[in-house]
Structure 1
Amino acid sequence: MSARASLTTEHTIDRAGRGVSRVYGLRSQAPLVLRPTHPKSAEPFTRHATNVARVSLTSGAAGPLGGDHFELEVRVGRGSTLVLNEVSATLLLPGARGGLSQMRITITVEDDATLVWLPEPVIAAEHCNHVQDIDVALGTSSRLLMRDELQLGRHREPPGNLTQRIRVRRVGRPLFQQQLTVGPATPKWRSSAVGGGHKSLGTVLVVDPDWGGDPPSARILAHGAAMFPLAGPAVLISALADDTLTTRRLLDRGVAHLGDPWASEAAAAPSA
């Protein structure tokens, strides 16, 4: 199965003369289903704004399965704010005939725009064979909070093969690049340099131009969790744990150290 979905937001002025963010373009193709949603209160990590665009990604079918090829393209227009979340975790499964499944996510966040991307965990079930590519392009004044969580196999199950590549560029220059490969095809993936025997891995990348050249300093958050400043107005929070709930709590603990507006929002955001 092949599927492609796309999403574009823009900043506009409503009838009352207020600036609002709205979904300008929306295209879904099952099983990638994008749906505009409306929160009951201010969104986390958006400076308490209530006029942001909010979209949820839902799955219209199981998978990805071996042989599936999916693409998601997101553009956050200049001055707009988008909160993109997921309704449920993504379960990577083997196909009836084997084969490689692929998911490519391309994101552009223009100047003065904000993206808060809060996907649910990706679960690499036994015998899956999946490649995920995430490519993010930022402007000089773009703001970003991007969460990423992986669960290596279901309960009492070893994971299949998973390769994930994340690339984030700011004004065309590399800001963050990471590749992770786990599973039977990579015999050394259980080493302390990768998972250290843990089944759950997670990161949160925060890019905030208000930090200038002085992002929050490095710190150890807990056993298996730490926060690192990057070469730019950015911070990476990384955590390893035995389950996704603990990983999420460790990541939230890291966000809580970032100062306003991130810290107060982390306390208010759900941790599971």
Structure 2
Amino acid sequence: MKFVKANIHYQNSSKSVTLNLPEFLFRGHWAVRAFVVVGFLLLVVQFSATFVHDAVLKHVIKSRQYLDRQMVQIEGTLDYLDGTSGVFFKDEQRVHSKFALTPPDAQARELGTGGFIGPESLLVRGTSPVFERMALLRENAARIQNKLDMNNAAFSSLSEYVGQQQSRWRYIPSIAPTRGRFGSPFGPRVHPVTGEVGRMHQGVDIANERWTPIFATADGVVENAMYNPSFGNFVAISHGNGIRTRYGHMQMLLVKPGQLVHRYEIIGYMGSTGMSTGSHLHYEVWVGDRPVNPVAYILPGDYSVD
């Protein structure tokens, strides 16, 4: 029996299939020949469809795997951002507590997302896990974005408030005016020079060696810088809002009336001028028209309100 060799080549491919078909198949009636040709064509179509299907399926699987990896990365990023927004919220609560402000409401930050979803979108999301997962990622991203936006707005508001407070605190006395030993306290006492009993001591005395530096305890404007029979070399500074500080018995003055001074700026040196029994600084704090205990305006250590 004779055979006819048929070579089938795939388009755009180096692969081919060789078939050996009996010669009599091509000698029969035209209907038989047509049947053979159609069968042969169907065979070719089946081989081609199988090859294309395998190639497309392989490409789809790779694309799906890549998409899964991308979604996992996005989910990780969203989890990190969600955790970061939580850290920001705790920091925000601490700042509110530090400045005695009403703490923010945690429930208000957990904003929900939603809205009308059309039947077509519901059908797509219900029939495709990928679209459902993407929709959930989008909703989660919108929720986290809302939280971060609210954190940013809150910190901007806090920054403005703190800036205003720092601007005000610059003019509030909050440090010790000099280094030394605190002696005579605020309140009634026996005057060390005149011996007068029950005389109000309107400040505190801080003793140290002559020429010990004396500092302005807050920003302000020098009202007086002169010699006073009682206080000797004397400086008075106005800090605004009815607050003034006064410094007496100094050895030397370094400021003059009308001069703007800043906290920690040296305004003079300790001495024993005026009615004094030894080298020390007499320091007063006035609020309005009355003296107050200066110790309440001295923070411990080297701290200040700014």
Which TM-score band applies after superposition, normalised by the shorter structure? under 0.3
Name the structure where helix makes up a greater proportion of residues.
Answer: 2
Q: Which of the pair has more CA radius of gyration?
A: 2
Name the structure where strand makes up a greater proportion of residues.
Answer: 1
**TM-score, normalised on structure 2?**
0.20
